[in-house]
Amino acid sequence: MNEKPDKLIDKKGIRGDGRKADELRPLKLQVGVLSNADGSAYIEHGKNKILAAAFGPREMHPKHLAQPDKMVLRCRYHMAPFSVQERKSPAPSRREVELSKVIKESLEPALFLELYPRTGVDVFVEVLQADGGTRCASITAAALAIADAGVPMKDLVVACAAGKVDDTVVLDLYDAEDKLGSADVPVAYMPNLNAVTLLQMDGILTPDEFEKAVNMAMDGCKKIYAMQKEALKTKYMVVKEVEE
């Protein structure tokens, strides 16, 4: 890795990649990119490139994992060996297993699990290129994939992180800030229900800074939500235009 720079934020308050403290990275979202999956989405969040595919609801395999009273959501977060500078072993690492669980738990509140008992929904998240904040981008893409699969949802789930770099609270950390900064707060959020489904913190923040970071992340989520909604509509808009 590169040497640690003296400052991640310059005197004018501009960050390493030219952003202001409360600015998001450029975002690109696309829905329905895979034809073999029931639903799919692709996200480019800064330098992150992530594919998400959703299947189901379908019969659970192996069968003993099926729940008699509810649907089961399974998630697999996986990083491609070429997604980072140094080759990552394709076997699931401790971190990937953890993130799979975190993504699953942040999406579950958005689903009507009781509606289709004994079935399962599978979500596969494949990180093609990583640059910090992949869990958040993954959640955003996975929610789109599930909606595209036609699974009823209470709300879309959006995620965004905030953190502390050089004693400043900033939005949407990229890799260097994530590694060299002093704190990272990923937040997943259901904008219409105004409910937080994931809140983590890595590092040290004062209560005031924490509150500021959470609010900043939630504002970021709202901005991403607008794009997420647009992306979902774009896929079906083509059909709608025929009407006019």
Partner 1 sequence: MPAFFEKKQLVTPGELLAEGDYLPGENTYVENGKIYASRIGLVDADNKKVNVVALRAFYVPKTGDIVIGTVVEVGFNGWTVNIEAPYTALLRASDVLSRPFKPQNDELSAVLNAGDLIVAKIASYDRAHDPQLTVGEPGLGKITRGQILRVTPTKIPRIIGRKGSMISMIKQETNCQIILGLNGVILVTGKTPEEEEIAIMAIRKIEEESHTSGLTDRITQLLKEKKPAKLEENKIE
Contacts with partner 1, residue ranges (CB under 8 A): 38-39, 56-59, 68, 110, 112, 116-119, 147-156, 190-193, 229, 232-233, 236-237, 239-240, 242-243
Shortest CB 120 distance to partner 1, Å: 9
CB nearer to partner 1: give 148 or 177. Answer: 148
**C-alpha to C-alpha distance for 29 and 31, rounded to whole angstroms:** 7
Shortest CB 183 distance to partner 1, Å: 30
**C-alpha to C-alpha distance for 45 and 106, rounded to whole angstroms:** 19
CB contact at 8 A, 136 and 189: no
**C-alpha to C-alpha distance for 198 and 158, rounded to whole angstroms:** 10
Q: Which two tokens stand for residue 60?
A: 């659970």
Shortest CB 7 distance to partner 1, Å: 41
CB nearer to partner 1: give 20 or 58. Answer: 58
Shortest CB 128 distance to partner 1, Å: 25
**Length of the chain as a residue count:** 244
The full DSSP string for 25-42 is PPEEEEE---SSSSEEEE
DSSP state letter for 111: B
Q: Where does 71-174 have alpha helices with state H?
A: 94-107, 134-148
CB nearer to partner 1: give 102 or 232. Answer: 232
CB nearer to partner 1: give 125 or 149. Answer: 149
Q: Which two tokens stand for residue 110?
A: 């958005």
CB nearer to partner 1: give 12 or 63. Answer: 63
Shortest CB 28 distance to partner 1, Å: 18
